[in-house]
Structures are given as C-alpha cells and as structure tokens.
Chain A
Amino acid sequence: MATAAAPLLEVRGLCKRFGGLVALDRVSFQVREGEIRGLIGPNGAGKSTLFKNIAGFYRPGAGEILLAGRPISGRPPYEIAGLGVVRTFQETTLFQELSVMRNLEAGCHLHASSGLFRALLGLDRERLERQRQAAGRILDFVGLRERRAQLASELPLGSQRALALGIALLAKPRLLLLDEPFAGMNPAETAHMMELTRKVRRSGITIVLVEHNMKAVMGLCDFVTVLNFGRLLAEGTPESVRRDPAVLEAYLGSAAGGTERASC
C-alpha cells in the first residue's frame, strides 16, 4: 500500500486566532493508524479548538491538516465526515427528544440517505433496512439494547455518552475525535467507557482522545500530546509525559502531586 507510510492524521503548523487571542500556535503532530492518542492540557489550552479545526467546524488561520496524506483543511464538516473524520462534542450533544434507537438511526445519514424521489416513492426500503440493522448492531456494541425505546433525555450520563459515541460510530469513521467523553463520570461508568473505547479501537478505528481524567488517559493511550496556551508542550508515552517537568509545571497546583485529575 502506498499510503501505509503516511500517518492517518498529520497536522502541520496549525494556527488559529480569535481576535487577539492565539488559540492555536503552530501546532504540529502526527497520529498513526490504529493508535489511541491522548490530547491533554489545562483548561483553555486549545484542545477543543484543535478538534474543531480538524473536523472542519473552524477554518484554520494557517497550516495544513492531512488525512492519510491528503489535505482536508478548508472543507466543510459534512465533507470531512464523509472522508472518515467524526468528532464528538464536549457538551453532551444528542437528540434529547428522540428515542435511543431513533438517535442511532439519525447517525446513519451518510449511509442511508437517498434522494427526494426515491424517498417519496418508497424506493429506499432496503437502505432503511440496512440503517435499522446498522443501528441495531451499534445498539449492542455500546450496550444500550435494553434502553432502546427510552428517550435520550431520560438516560443517565454514562448511557448518554455511550449513545453519543454510538451516533458517531454510525458515520463509519476512520478517525474518531472524542472530546472529554469521561467528564463527570463515576468510577463504574469510567470503567465501562474505557472498555468501550478499547473495543472501538479493536474494530479498526483510530482515536484521538481529549480528556482531563488522567486515569483514563494513562490507561488507554499509546501516546500523549500535551498542549498549553495553544502550543505543543510535550509528546511521548503516557509515562514519559507524566514525568516531564514542563508538563508538571503547566498543571502546577492541581495535579503536580496527584494523578487523578489534571485540572478542573
């Protein structure tokens, strides 16, 4: 394979400003296929902004983003999703008024939508059947089968996050950008979500994980990239990053001693 040499995601010299604020300052890093990459940093470091740039929600000020060697920056989000990059949201984002199953069906848009006339004439039946099957598979995958008829708004936090992950998975990503999926979870929910994340990786999806929960980051990630004030601060295995004096300095006060939570 010609593209096997290229990393799945490459970010080169990415910059993003909001007025006078430099949210991202010449950030460069690479993620290999099959990896779980941690992306950490104190509040306001620019992690979510980085995700939004990669997924096309923001237009980068400068720099390049390559997916398997092909530039994707400047394209709209739905095209980037079509190329296989799907993000989740830091604030739990679901169709609260719809059932779990319906939420998952909504996630199938890329693979189940059909044109106006097919829909009107009922010629999209076999697509809808495939949509139901795909949604059903993900229902089992994220462990929500018992709750499939419940409204998303009625779910406990852990299940809501699992549902959000399920919706993202139904877009069949190659690269999944998870923005703080562990925030606010209790230990049982955290353990479940960690298991789920590993299962996602085993199914062949590369993951970039933004997270403040250090236990999850240390337990899941192959490599960790640290951002601080929009700049790349450190990169390496979880162990080496944890010992890095510059990283400790950046987190000083909240997590220099402990390992549970970096900040908040």
Chain B
Amino acid sequence: MNSASRRHGWWLAAAVLLPALAALPFFLPFHRQDFMIFLLLDVMLVVSYRLVTLSGEWSLIHMVLMGCGGYASALLSKRADLLVWLSIPLAALLTAAVALLLSFPLLRMRGFYFLIGSYAAGEAVRLAWKYFVYPFGGPKGLKLIPPLELQLPFLEQPLSFVEPIPFYLLLLVVTCVSLLLLYRLEHSRIGLTLHMVHWQPSLAEAVGVNSWRYRTLAFACGAFFAGLAGALFVHYLGSINPNQFAIGEMLYILVWVIIGGTRTFAGPVIGVVVLSVLNEIFRQYDEWRPAIYGLILLLSMRFLPDGLESLPGRLRGLWRRRVAAAQG
C-alpha cells in the first residue's frame, strides 16, 4: 500500500467512525455514557504517554501530570475565578511547564533510574497536594469546581457540560484534535529524531542531535496532553483528590500501552479500548474481574508478545497460509 492510498484509508475510517462515535451515547444508558467519557480520557492519556516512550523513556509520572492539569484548572477557575474555557488550556500549558521544570533533574537520568526518579517526583507532587490544605484541599481534595458552560443564543439556560452527552461530544472533538496533532508529531522530522535518540543515542549525537532537548520536548508535549485530559476531567466530575492519581492508576496506562503494542501509533489506542471494553463487559462478575483481567494479560503476553496491534498481521498470515494450503 502506498502512502496516498493509506491516507485515503485513514480519512475513510475517520468519516465512518466519527459520526458513529458521535451518535453512540444517544443510544446508551447513563452509566455507559460515563464509561465512554472515561474511555476517551484514557485514550488521550495513553497516546500522550506514547510520545514520551518514543524518546525511549518509560515514566511513572504521567498520571500525576494529568492531576497537575486537573488541579491547575480547578484552582484557576475556583480560586482565581478564571473562565473555565480559559483555565483548561492554561492548565495544560502549566502542566507542560511543570514537566519542563521536572525534566532538569529527571532527564539527567536514563532507563531504570529515570523510571524510579519519575515515580519519586510524582509521589512528591502528590504528597504536596495531600499536605497543603490551602490551596490544594489536602487529602479530601477540591470540591464544587465550576463546570464548563456555554451560553447559546437559542437556549434559555446555558448549555452545561456536566451533562454526559454534551461533555462527551466536546471531549470527542478535543480527543480527535489531540490525536491528530500527536500523530503528525510522530510522523514528522521530530518523530524521526526521537527514534534516533531512542535506538542509537550515540549516532544521533554524532550527527548533531541534542538528545536532551528532544527528550525534554517529548516529555513536555506528553505532559501538555495529559494535563489537558486532567483539566477536562475535573470540570466534568466537579471534584478532584490526590488518590485519583496514585501509582495504581499509572500501572493501568503501562498495561494498556504494553498490551496494545508499542510499534505503531494505533497500538496503545487498541490496548486501552479492548481492555476497557472487556473490563466493562465483566463488570457484573465483580469479584472475578481482577482474575479475568490478569488472565487476559497473561494470555496476550504469552501469545501476542508484540501486542494487540500485531493481531491483524498475524491473522492475515494465517489466512494466506490456509489459502496456500488449499491451493497447493
């Protein structure tokens, strides 16, 4: 397949998928609408996390960065009375700034040390949220965070985005734009340079790549989108507390990315969608859920070490072999 026809394929898929996704919540009960919202937020999280991993680093602070966006937007709108439409993008920028600051100590380290360092830094931030009742609200966090509202000329009441359907539609737009930007970034010259920094750091430096700069860029851009997801999330829920961003939540991101596969842009998206849907299906067998989840993880690691993204290729290979066997 050449790149032009592949691009057509993408546009076609988007043209079918987007209207379907937009229409979906109208046919779903309330709790499933909620599920879709959290799924979209998780998609933003894993795809922004992928950008960080492209530079070769596995971070454990991504979830806390999402929290930074949440806290920032909550404080800006609640305590500084900023318009929520402004506080959200501002919070995403602030999250990127926090990541930039953290990158000075963190990105001096590599590999395992970076992993542990990012965990420690994340816990430090979370402890600050817990410890300082002013402004962060301490362990109970912040409540009564102002919602997103839009005054439309043809409606008497302002449209409130605490209702699932309007919020879902807004989130769908933001997620699509974010995915598009991250996809472009990965397939730009910057994406190639990140690949160089990841796989042959010495060669990259030898031909003039400032690898520290590119690792920082990936870390801060990833943080921007995590912060954006966090900021949106907090105005939907109306509350935020430090436990929502604990390490256990971070592990989910790792699992989604690894099970989905790390080779392609679609891998983590497939991972989060498939595992979340399975998780939702088994919701009624509540006590069995962790066991079922664990079993799925084990099976997929045993039989699909390259992630769910490799499944279509494998099936195609199997099909071809069957056809060949039938003919020969």
Contact = CB atoms under 8 A, between A and B. Distances in A.
A119 B196 contact: no
Interface stretch (A11-19, A90-98, A241-249, A254-262): A90-98
A109 B207 contact: yes
B217 A116 contact: yes
Nearest to A115: B190
A51 to B, nearest CB: 10
Interface stretch (A31-39, A40-48, A163-171, A206-214): A163-171
Contact of B202 (A93, A97, A112, A168): A93
Interface residues of A, number: 37
B176 to A, nearest CB: 15
A95 B92 CA distance: 34
Contacts of B199: 95, 97
B205 A78 contact: yes
Contacts of A76: 205, 210
Main secondary structure of the interface of B (DSSP, over half): helix
Contacts of B206: 55, 57, 77, 81, 86-89, 168, 171
Interface in A143-174: 167-168, 170-171
Interface residues of B, number: 24
A78 B209 contact: yes
A252 interface: no
Contacts of B264: none
B195 A128 contact: no
A167 B185 contact: no
Nearest to B220: A116
A102 B211 CA distance: 19
A113 B221 CA distance: 17
B192 interface: yes
A167 to B, nearest CB: 6
Given A93-B202, A97-B199, 7 more contacts: A81-B206, A88-B206, A93-B203, A109-B189, A109-B196, A113-B189, A113-B193
Interface of B: 181, 184-185, 188-190, 192-193, 195-196, 199-200, 202-211, 217, 221
19 contacts: A55-B206, A57-B202, A57-B206, A76-B210, A77-B206, A81-B207, A87-B206, A88-B206, A95-B199, A97-B199, A106-B204, A107-B207, A109-B189, A113-B193, A119-B184, A119-B189, A120-B185, A122-B184, A127-B189
